[in-house]
Structure 1
Amino acid sequence: MSIDPYYNVRAFHSFVQETLHELGPAPEQPLIKAAVAVVIENPFAGRWVEDLSPLTDPSASLGTELGSRLVALLGGRAVESYGKGGLAGVNGEQEHVVACITTVFGDALRDAVGGGKAWISSASKVAATGAQIDIPLAYKDEVYVRSHYDAITIALPDGPRPDELVIIVAGASGGRPNARVGGMTVADVIARDQN
Structure 2
Amino acid sequence: MKLDIRRLLCFTDHKEVEAGHRHDQPLRRVAAVAIVANPYAGRYVEDLSEAIAASVEVGAVLAKLAVEAMGSYKVESYGKGGVVGLGGELEHANAMLTTTFATPLREAVGGAEAWIPSFTKLAAPGCLIDVPLAHKDALYVRSHYDGVSVTLPPDAPAADEVALIVCLANRGRLNARVGGLNARDIGGKDGLR
Under TM normalisation by the shorter chain, which class is it?
over 0.9
1:9 alignment partner, one of 5, 10, 19: 5
Per-residue deviation, residues 43-91 of structure 1 (Å, max 9, x unmatched): 1001000000111012221211111111111112111100001100001
Unaligned runs of 5+ residues in structure 2 are none
Answer whether contact 2:138 2:188 (CA < 8 A) is retained: no
Per-residue deviation, residues 2-50 of structure 1 (Å, max 9, x unmatched): xxx7111110011100111101532211110000000011010010000
Unaligned runs of 5+ residues in structure 1 are none
How far apart are the structure 1 equivalents of 2:163 and 2:133? 18
- TM-score, scaled to structure 2: 0.94
Q: Kindly indicate whether residue 65 of structure 2 is the aligned counterpart of residue 69 of structure 1.
A: yes
State the identity as a percent.
46
| Paired residues, number | 188
Q: Which has the higher strand share?
A: 2
Match of 2:121 in 1: 125
Match of 2:49 in 1: 53
Report the AA paired with residue 164 of structure 2.
I
2:103 alignment partner, one of 98, 107, 110: 107
Deviation >3 Å, runs of 4+: none
RMSD over aligned CA atoms reads 1.3
What is the DSSP-based 3-state SS (H/G/I as helix, E as strand, rest coil) of the residue aligned with 1:71? helix
1:183 alignment partner, one of 180, 185, 189: 180
- TM-score, scaled to structure 1: 0.93
Per-residue deviation, residues 101-139 of structure 1 (Å, max 9, x unmatched): 101111221012221100000000100000100000000
The range that moved more, 121-130 or 21-30, is 21-30
Q: Kindly indicate whether residue 28 of structure 2 is the aligned counterpart of residue 28 of structure 1.
A: no
